Amino acid sequence: MKRLITAAMAVTALALAGCTGSDPDPTVGTTAAPDASSARATYPVTVDTVTLTARPEKIVSLSPTATEMLFAIGAGPQVIAVDDQSNYPVEAPKTDLSGFKPNAEAIAAKDPDLVVISGDADGIVAQLGKLSIPVFVSPAAATLDDTYAEITDLGALTGHPIEAKALNEVRAAEIDRIVKSVPARSKPLTYYYELGPDLYSATSKTFIGSIFGLFGMTNVADAADPDGKLGGYPQLSQESLVKANPDMIFLADTKCCQQSADTVRARPGWSSITAVSKNQIHPLDDDIASRWGPRTAELVKSVADAVGKVPA
């Protein structure tokens, strides 16, 4: 149900806000080892509208993506609480705090010296500002460059600029190796990316679309939001999807909505779709697919593995 709600809200919320067969870099998704950069970081530091006079030692993260970024750059020991959706890494101090409906009083009770959130829900920035609690807004990335920039910003704020730079370099190199490991095709593959069984999808103008664009793929959802007025997250009709006849289907609703290749094959009228008839339906990890941070390389690898199995 949560993914269905998320899909339905995507239009407005996001408008506001090496070799083939090899494994990804072994550091993907792991926590960076602290180094001397923390000692060399100097304050005060200003990023956007946030100024910190000293290294934050009590960070509250209300964004699962930011939580992953903080731990990946070695700032995990400084994180004292994370929101109820931050389930990775396992050592993250998960609480009942919400990033969707943030409660200023509950957040303030943690006595944080920095709060990181993905959007200014319910005017939480001003509410916490009145309590002299600095808030850094780290919105959902629109491109890979945005992801790298947010990691850089968090590195600067938390005293881990060198670790952040190293993480970005490793991830960028890994993604480049993965993409280059997949041979170019003479005819682009078409695909449908599913956010929920209610047929919400993501166009080429979104972060997700940019990932598939690395492989030169054609997105069948683009026709449903050609001018971007829907924020890049249109709801498709079954008729239009069957008519578009995508070569591949990627499911980002396997955990929230228990969708699978079997459930897709069982949908009335879908048997004629090429992706279904040729068994080219690929379940993804919902969390990795929706958190555009350190584990994006794993998403790229999943797409690369799927594309590599399609006969040229």
Mean pLDDT of the region 219-227? 97
Do both 265 and 215 map to the same domain?
A: yes
Alpha-carbon span 10 to 1, nearest angstrom? 14
Out of 143, 176, 209, a domain closes at: 176
Check the CA dihedral 227-225-194-242 and report its sign: negative
Question: E strands along the chain, which residues?
Answer: 45-47, 50-52, 59-61, 79-82, 114-117, 135-137, 190-194, 218-219, 248-251, 281-283
User: For residue range 129-187, what is the model confidence (pLDDT) as tens digits?
Assistant: 999 999 999 999 999 999 999 999 999 999 999 999 999 999 999 999 999 999 999 99
At residue 10 the predicted structure's pLDDT band, cuts being 50, 70 and 90, is very low
Indicate if 73 and 90 belong to the same structural domain.
yes
CB 257 within 8 A of CB 286: no
Domain shared by 292 and 211, yes or no: yes
What is the chain's mean pLDDT, rounded? 90
pLDDT at residue number 4: 39
Tokens matching residue 58: 């009590």
Mean pLDDT for the stretch of residues 209-223: 98
Q: How confident is the model at residue 37 (pLDDT cuts 50, 70, 90)?
A: low
Rounded-to-10 torsion of CA 289, 72, 138, 108: 120
Name the band, by pLDDT with cuts 50, 70 and 90, for residue 20: very low
Q: Evaluate whether residue 28 is within a structural domain.
A: no
User: Does residue 205 register a pLDDT over 70?
Assistant: yes
Let me know whether 128 and 248 are in one domain.
no
Is there a domain that residue 32 lies in? Answer: no
The verdict on residue 53 lying in a domain is: yes
**Per-residue pLDDT at 2:** 41
The last residue of one of the domains, among 160, 176, 192, is 176
Say whether pLDDT at 22 is over 60: no
More confident residue, 5 or 239: 239
Judgement on whether residues 189 and 137 belong to the same structural domain of the protein: no
Question: Are residues 53 and 167 part of one domain?
Answer: yes
15 pLDDT above the threshold of 90: no
pLDDT tens, residue by residue, 267-299? 999 999 999 999 999 999 999 999 999 999 999
Are 9 and 124 part of one and the same domain? no
In a domain, 29, yes or no: no
pLDDT of 295 reads 97
Whether 59 and 79 map to the same domain: the answer is yes
Asked whether residue 87 is domain-assigned, the answer is yes
* pLDDT at residue number 3: 41
Least reliable range by pLDDT among 22-26, 261-265, 308-312: 22-26
Look at the chain and report how many structural domains it folds into: 2
Structural domain contains residue 104: yes
Given a cut of 80, is residue 33 above it in pLDDT? no
> What global pTM score does this model have?
0.87
Q: What is the pLDDT of residue 312?
A: 83
**C-alpha R_g of the chain:** 20
Domain edge (last residue) among 138, 155, 176 = 176
Q: Tell me: do 157 and 208 sit in the same domain.
A: no
Whole domain around residue 292: which residue ranges?
2-22+184-307
Answer yes or no: is 312 within a domain.
no
Report percent pLDDT > 70 for the chain: 87
- The rounded percent of the chain whose pLDDT value lies above 90 is 87
**146 and 57, same structural domain?**
yes
Residue 38: pLDDT band with limits 50, 70, 90: low
Residue 228 lies in a domain: yes
pLDDT at 41: 82
Tens-place pLDDT, residues 49-100: 999 999 999 999 999 999 999 999 999 999 999 999 999 999 999 999 999 9
Residues 132 and 115 placed together within one structural domain of the fold: yes
CATH number of the domain residue 148 falls in: 3.40.50.1980
Residues 158 and 142 in one domain: yes
What residue ranges in 85-242 does DSSP mark as E strands? 114-117, 135-137, 190-194, 218-219
